[in-house]
Structure 1
Amino acid sequence: MQDVVGFETRCLHALVKVFPDEELREQPYTRGSALRGETFDFQVAYRAPALTKPIRVSVASALGADITLREVGLAPSELPCQRRHDDNVLRVTPGLYPDPLYPIDEEQGVTGIHYQWRTVWISVELNEGTPPGTYAVTVRFAAMTGEKFGEESFRLEVMPAVLPPQTLIHTEWFHADCLANYYGVDVFGDAHWLLIERYMQTAVRHGMNMVLTPHFTPPLDTQVGGERPTVQLVDVRKEEDGTYAFGFGRLLRWIELCDRVGIRYFEFSHLFTQWGAKHAPKVMAEEQGELRRIFGWETDAAGEAYMSFLGRYLPALMEFLREQGLEERCYFHISDEPLLEHMPWYRSASELMQAHLGDMPIIDALTHYDYYEQGLVKRPVPANDHIEPFLERQVPELWTYYCCVQYRQVSNRFFNMPSARNRVIGVQLYKFRIAGFLHWGYNFWNTQYSLQPVDPYRVTDAGRSFPSGDAFLVYPGKEGPVESIRMEVFYEGLQDLRALQLLESLAGRDRVLAMIEEGLAEPLTFSRYPTDAEWLLGLRERVNEAIRDTSESNRRGESNESGEYIERRE
């Protein structure tokens, strides 16, 4: 659309990534649908013929919902992808990529820059009581003096059904030390706790219901022999006779904070080092009146000293968790991403953990089926490019994950990947009944091995180590997190999963699976799936229509295809 001469606007779906140095080829997208209780996103791109600022952006709608406008910012990438990438990428060159979503200041507005396409991101948060119907959402661009530049109107149909609660367990590893580093606050001081709460609130709003809980400083992404800042929630005192006493006051404060913001599950950090389980994490203890490190890289994880420590610590922790009524909400880790050659050390650690934890779930990211087959981990988390053997053997309660090395064919969320490749994970999680999803980078603002902290607005690839988009989902704002396109789109995938589950409850799983694979040349898997956004958007629209039609049929008391009566559902 064009009002002022030369000022252009175009409505787009949320899976488009708009680059300022490219012509905009995407067709207008002006209609969509959503369930009540869902967050629906779309974009409005704009282009000015000359440097134009400030431009006021406003929204008008009769829709009873919270509507948020944010500016799509640009982030630099020196390492956009791995060398042996596949063809399902947008570009492979270093440069500026659309990613951070900045709040729009009413006084400063947005800026039009000399024929560059830029974008405003619109999030419509529907509540469960929104009346069904079709509503216009109009986005206007104008000068601060009131002169109208242009506008776009999107028509959103609200379906007569409520998006059901999320059943998937979802964790994005929460790095408390990175918050303290970036903001320059004391670990577990009042300012740190406030930041932790704000970052957790944002995570919960985007489907994260489990949090990495650092009972001891997590031995993750740390150089051998090095250490990350201490973020230990459990107090340890080593007595003169060699026994230990434990204090759980800070851990209780963490749990109470999580309860307050809506975190359901606690993922206790790894008790053995990454990539091998050969050493202990950093453990700080008070000894003879001084706080000192009693375990770390110098510790043989299978040695008597550390095994004896865990033999006292784990029963004390379990007693605390039982007192708090948390037995059904806790998960544990041994070591992250063990290889086959690490199995002897992992076996030793696993036997000790299982002896003290009993049936408490232990989850670990890994690629080799042998660890599960030999009973060393009962809740494996295979990568999405190594999940097939686990699916073929019908491993129950199966999880999955991806990181920097899952970049060929499978879903991931690097800067240079199409957003459809990010969002399709929701359909895959549904089809294969995946119980949990894990990712290592909610806010990892360090270089590889945590050699030094970084400014994530300048360094998005962990110091030229991981493709941009792998290490973090949120940027640090002045008082809390700045979200990203990737975070919003992944949440759209989680909403797709919930919508598919709702349709299954109304019409049966066979109908949903048939709808997913209708017209496909081969069955959908984690590595084979339609890569275009249109397929994904079209599938979701068909699912919404089927939910609406089935819900209306049920309200009239009609039977389903099998002749069984379906009770009324709101």
Structure 2
Amino acid sequence: MQNVFEFETRSLHSLVKVFPDEELRNASYSQGSALRGETFTFQIAYRAPALTKPILVNVSSTLHDGAITLREVGLAPSELPCQRRHDENVLRVTPGLYPDPLYPIHGERGVVGIHYQWRSIWVTVELDEETSAGEYAITVQFATMTGEMLGEESFQLAVIPAVLPSQTLIHTEWFHADCLANYYRVEVFSEAHWELIEQYLQTAVRHGMNMVLTPHFTPPLDTQVGGERPTVQLVDVRKEADSTYEFGFDRLLRWIELCDRVGIRYFEFSHLFTQWGAKHAPKVVAMEQEEQRRIFGWETDATGEAYKSFLGQYLSALTVFLREQGLEHRCYFHISDEPLLEHMPWYRSASELMQAHLGDFPIIDALTNVEYYEQGLVKGPIPANDHIEPFLERGVPDLWTYYCCVQYRQVSNRFFNMPSARNRIIGVQLYKFQIAGFLHWGYNFWNTQYSLQAIDPYRVTDAGRSFPSGDAFLVYPGEEGPIESIRMEVFYEGLQDLRALQLLESLVGRDRVLALIEEELAEPISFSRYPLDAEWLLGLRERVNREISIATESSRKGESYDS
């Protein structure tokens, strides 16, 4: 709406990215629906005719107190917004400022209106499972410090009489414990570090992450050959004179107990061989002759007897510990990340060694070539979403998928410059193809490529001009804990879409749901072919909610769904 002072507001759905330097073309979005137990988000865009500060922002609603949070959508710089050979499904390709971080709005500090720049407020509605079904009004108001009303927008949210089911998808965003210690300047595994780990994992769990990369040894990921990242080793090692080893698991147990406390269900033990080839060992430090020293690393031949002997002793001790803790059904292991075909001899050696010692513990790895699965070298392959078709054709059970910086043509991803619908569509794709897990490498990677330097994520969002902005991290480091991002919120909306589709399937059957998804589409949905517009995705979710409501009411009355 617009008043005499020309202060403008507009209610928008969550898939709009509001740029300060362009006109707002999106129509008003003022009503939607959600299930009990769901997190629902939308935005209120605003524009002031002159520099105006502070602008106080308040919300009122018929929902219970505490259900609604307001945050300011901030701008983040990008020098590298996309790859050179990008497709056409992007918002812009130029370097500049992109909407992404979600900043808390602190009381009387309010927000600022800047000379006809559109900005937006992110509205988060958290519905608990006991929320009564019905219509709820939400009103967001803008005012000056003196109480002069500048503008307001109202939104109508319908709560469906059904509870969003629990997430079954296993979801991991790689957690970089060393980046927390670097940025906040705390000692690794000090009490301050443990507090940060818990804060950041709590935020991850609230957004659907239920598995965590667990650094039993410092993960050999994104590390320059010959270089090393700060030691974040959870397992204590003592090397004896006869090359036998003793292992201490106290710190690992604390990690597990923390994860249990915040809601992490699965443990993804970090890779035991180096990235892109499995030729070397990760950094392992041990007490040897009463001195702490690195005993394995880039100089270690992964096929040599010394490392084989160490791994045999370690995996035997670790699996005993995990079974004693009752964790045998919650733990996964990695060999080496993203091996290519030419790396197969080294990967084969590593795979045979690990399979001999791990028994039934699952081994998973991100890779491209289906030959690794066909030859039995990895039973849990994780192909990228642009290389998944051969794995689907072979009917790989419990298949996972992932994407990273090189998945930028046709498929879903979440770079700064991509439409948010391209981020959220992953939920429908995961549902259709019954994907068991999703992996991404960058929850909080606040380094340049190869970890040559730590970076300030508020200034560098592309890993030092190496990966498109939006690839390396989902959260920013705040003074009081993690600052979430638009991309994180929208990805979670996709996970909630997946759960809503699963709920509808339990009520009406899978064939009916698949037909609902693809009705009136020119071609079936795949990982590379899908509707691009946000309105289709939002409309699908409204249809799903409506069908859930009808089926739930029919069940309550003892009637068949068709009636």
| TM-score category of the 2 structures, normalised to the smaller one | over 0.9
Compute the displacement of 1:3 (Å). 2.9
Say if 2:49 is the partner of 1:52: no
SS of equivalent to 1:542: helix
Question: Residue 4 of structure 1 contacts residue 148 of structure 1 at CA under 8 Å; is this kept in 2?
Answer: no
Segments ≥4 residues shifted beyond 2 Å: none
Query: d(CA) in 2 for partners of 1:63 and 1:265?
Result: 34
Scaled by the length of structure 2, the TM-score of the pair is: 0.99
Say if 2:29 is the partner of 1:20: no
Query: d(CA) in 2 for partners of 1:11 and 1:160?
Result: 25
Which position in structure 1 is the counterpart of 2:222?
221
SS of equivalent to 1:327: coil
Question: Residue 170 of structure 2 contacts residue 210 of structure 2 at CA under 8 Å; is this kept in 1?
Answer: yes
After superposition, the Cα gap between the structure-2 partners of 1:4 and 1:323, relative to the gap in structure 1 and judged at 3 Å, is: farther
Instruction: Supply the AA of the counterpart residue of 1:47.
Output: R
Say if 2:34 is the partner of 1:34: yes
Deviation sequence 1:367-391 (CA, Å, 0-9, x none): 1000000000001000000000011
Which position in structure 2 is the counterpart of 1:185?
186
Which position in structure 1 is the counterpart of 2:408?
407
Query: d(CA) in 1 for partners of 2:334 and 2:469?
Result: 27
SS of equivalent to 2:312: helix
5+ residue gaps, structure 1: 564-570
Say if 2:373 is the partner of 1:372: yes
Instruction: Supply the AA of the counterpart residue of 2:78.
Output: S
Which position in structure 2 is the counterpart of 1:430?
431
Query: d(CA) in 1 for partners of 2:225 and 2:198?
Result: 31
Say if 2:307 is the partner of 1:306: yes
Compute the displacement of 1:145 (Å). 1.5
Compute the displacement of 1:560 (Å). 3.8
SS of equivalent to 1:489: helix
Which position in structure 2 is the counterpart of 1:7?
7
Which position in structure 2 is the counterpart of 1:334?
335
Which position in structure 1 is the counterpart of 2:493?
492
Compute the displacement of 1:240 (Å). 1.5
Question: Residue 58 of structure 2 contacts residue 141 of structure 2 at CA under 8 Å; is this kept in 1?
Answer: yes
Instruction: Supply the AA of the counterpart residue of 1:242.
Output: S
Mapping of residues 118-517 of structure 1, within 5 Å: 118-517=119-518
SS of equivalent to 2:494: helix
Mapping of residues 98-113 of structure 1, within 5 Å: 98-113=99-114
RMSD across aligned positions (CA): 0.7
Query: d(CA) in 2 for partners of 1:420 and 1:205?
Result: 21
Deviation sequence 1:185-233 (CA, Å, 0-9, x none): 0000000000000000000000000000000000000000000000000
Query: d(CA) in 2 for partners of 1:405 and 1:389?
Result: 18
Compute the displacement of 1:108 (Å). 0.5
Instruction: Supply the AA of the counterpart residue of 2:29.
Output: Y
Compute the displacement of 1:300 (Å). 0.2
Question: Residue 53 of structure 1 contacts residue 112 of structure 1 at CA under 8 Å; is this kept in 2?
Answer: yes
Which position in structure 2 is the counterpart of 1:62?
62
Scaled by the length of structure 1, the TM-score of the pair is: 0.98
Question: Residue 3 of structure 1 contacts residue 148 of structure 1 at CA under 8 Å; is this kept in 2?
Answer: no
Query: d(CA) in 1 for partners of 2:243 and 2:508?
Result: 62
SS of equivalent to 2:259: helix
Compute the displacement of 1:559 (Å). 2.2
Question: Residue 18 of structure 1 contacts residue 98 of structure 1 at CA under 8 Å; is this kept in 2?
Answer: yes
Query: d(CA) in 1 for partners of 2:225 and 2:76?
Result: 31
Question: Residue 4 of structure 1 contacts residue 149 of structure 1 at CA under 8 Å; is this kept in 2?
Answer: no
Query: d(CA) in 2 for partners of 1:447 and 1:521?
Result: 42
Compute the displacement of 1:4 (Å). 4.7
Deviation sequence 1:402-426 (CA, Å, 0-9, x none): 0000000000000000000000000
SS of equivalent to 2:26: coil
Question: Residue 412 of structure 1 contacts residue 422 of structure 1 at CA under 8 Å; is this kept in 2?
Answer: yes
Say if 2:38 is the partner of 1:43: no
Query: d(CA) in 2 for partners of 1:475 and 1:525?
Result: 32
SS of equivalent to 1:158: strand
Query: d(CA) in 2 for partners of 1:544 and 1:394?
Result: 31
Deviation sequence 1:457-481 (CA, Å, 0-9, x none): 0000000000000000000000210
Instruction: Supply the AA of the counterpart residue of 2:9.
Output: T
Query: d(CA) in 2 for partners of 1:320 and 1:550?
Result: 47
Instruction: Supply the AA of the counterpart residue of 1:51.
Output: L
Aligned length: 562
5+ residue gaps, structure 2: none
Segment drifting more, 138-147 vs 339-348: 138-147
Which position in structure 2 is the counterpart of 1:567?
none
Instruction: Supply the AA of the counterpart residue of 2:24.
Output: L
